[in-house]
Every structure is written in structure tokens, then in C-alpha cells.
Amino acid sequence: MTRRYFIAGNWKMHNNTTETKELLTAMKQNFQNINDSEVMVAPSFTSLQTAKEILEGTQIIIASQDCHSEDKGAFTSAVSCPQLKEFVSHVILGHSERRSVFGDTDIVINKKLKATLAHQLVPVLCIGETLQERESNKTLEILKAQLDGGLAGFEEKDLETLIIAYEPVWAIGTGKTASPQQAQETHEQVRKHLADMYSQEFADKTRILYGGSVKPENVDELMGQTDIDGALVGGKSLEAESFLRIINFKK
């Protein structure tokens, strides 16, 4: 089963529209994609219109970093899928910062997933354990609970577009990366759980990205692992040159 690589940049709360324009223009001018990966960027809501204008006519996908589960209503500050659909085709859900800073639970994430799919947006569902959970041998238990909770109520046929991002919380923004072997082992376990939840065929075709301090120096080895199908990149997606090098990883 071949899974097309997927390289994504999560900009978090960085870049105003001028900076967005500069970064995407630099990326676009030097864009090459030797691996034929799918490439995605997720700017802040305020930069989505600018990103759309600049990336028009390119293959680069635009995503939002979150969405609300309702279509409209009295939800001050929130942004809904019908609103996002004007700009994006993909939505990141359940990022660890959404979970830890904003209190998104698996139940909330599950509702957001439902909205995302109802509006034909592609979900990138993030899962990951904290350092304490890893050290007390709870990694698998946590990841299974996040998958079971996040995907509750969905059938295999609903999840054809689903992308999973495994991001160990202790590796996000810390400069610490899971070793390629550690990441591979966990990805294999995640895939096995998807097979148990749905089917082997589903598990084999679902892409599982790795995230957590991915950089030019470690991307080649990470992407060389059998069950790693791409990367969700934070810090290094804010530098055109680094992100382009990551897109053009060498296996």
C-alpha cells in the first residue's frame, strides 16, 4: 500500500498578513517537491485570505488550526466550518496546545471532527502523550483513548480522508525529537489500533504524520521509517528555507 507523503506547517500564533505574504512568496518562488508530497500550511485565521491569494494556482493546501463544532450562532470569537470553507480545505484538530491550553477534550474534538466531515473538510487529527505519561508507560493507553474518543461514532466509510498526526507533547517546541525508532514503534502501534478499530485496509491507507521538533537535520531519518507518512512541523515551518528542505527530505 503506498501512502502519499504529507508535509504540513502549523504556524500557530505567528505572522501577520505582511509576514504571511513574505513567507509564502519566498516559499512559492523556491517551491520544488522532489517527493511529490502533499504540502499544507496552516496560518492563523487572520492570514487565511492572504494565504489564499498568494497560493492561488499552486498545489499548496491551506488549513486552519482549529474550527468550532457548530455552523453558526452565539459563540463569540469562534470560527465555523462554513466560514472556513471559503479559505481552507483541511482543518487541524486536537493539537496538544488546543487540548492543554484551551481545554479541548476528546468529546469536543469528536464534535469538531463531525462538523469538519459534514462540510467536506479534511481533518488532521492530532494525538500524543505527555512526558509523564510516556515515563509511566502509558503512551499506548493514552493514544488509544484519544483515537477511541476522537473517532467515536464514525464508521470507516466516514473517515476516508482522515489524517492522523502523532505528536509526543514532550517533543513539541522543545527541540527534543522522538528518535526515529521511538517514533516508528509508536506509529506502528497507532496503525495497529486503527486496524483493530476498523480494518487492516483502513489502517494501511491512513496517513500518520509525525510532529515534534521536526527540522532539516532530522527529517530524512524520520521519513525513512516505514510507518511515518509525513510531518507536522511547527517552528521550522516559519522559515522558508528550512520548510522547503523538509518538504524535499531525502529517503
Q: Give the residue among 82, 79, 44, 78 at the shortest CA–CA distance from 63.
A: 44
Residue 100 binds ligand PGA (CB under 6 A): no
- Can 167 be counted among the known catalytic residues? yes
Coil/strand/helix, residue 182: helix
List 123, 150, 230, 235, residue binding ligand PGA (CB under 6 A) = 235
The DSSP code sequence of 101-163 is: HH---HHHHHHHHHHHHHTTPEEEEEE---HHHHHTT-HHHHHHHHHHHHTTT--GGGGTT-E
Residue 214 binds ligand PGA (CB under 6 A): yes
List 234, 246, 247, 249, residue binding ligand PGA (CB under 6 A) = 234
Residue 211 binds ligand PGA (CB under 6 A): yes
Residue 169 binds ligand PGA (CB under 6 A): no
Nearer to ligand PGA, 83 or 169 (CB): 169
CA distance 186 to 202: 18
Per CB under 6 A, the segment of 33-41, 130-138, 167-175, 194-202 that binds ligand PGA is 167-175
Per CB under 6 A, the segment of 15-23, 77-85, 144-152, 209-217 that binds ligand PGA is 209-217
Nearer to ligand PGA, 147 or 231 (CB): 231
Residue 168 binds ligand PGA (CB under 6 A): no
- Can 95 be counted among the known catalytic residues? yes
Q: Give the residue among 108, 166, 105, 99 at the shortest CA–CA distance from 134.
A: 166
CA distance 167 to 172: 7
Which one of 38, 68, 90, 95 is the catalytic residue?
95
Q: How far is the CB of 235 from ligand PGA (least distance, A)?
A: 4
In which residue are the cell numbers 467536506 written? 120
Per CB under 6 A, the segment of 58-66, 145-153, 193-201, 212-220 that binds ligand PGA is 212-220
Residue 163 binds ligand PGA (CB under 6 A): no
Nearer to ligand PGA, 5 or 83 (CB): 5
C-alpha of 212 from chain center: 11
Q: How far is the CB of 233 from ligand PGA (least distance, A)?
A: 5
Q: Specify the DSSP element, H or E, that contains 186.
A: helix 180-197
The DSSP code sequence of 9-71 is: EE--S---HHHHHHHHHHHHHT---TT--EEEEE--GGGHHHHHHHHTTSS-EEEES--BSSS
The residues that are catalytic are: 95, 167
**Interface ranges with ligand PGA (CB under 6 A):** 10, 167, 172-173, 211-214, 232-235
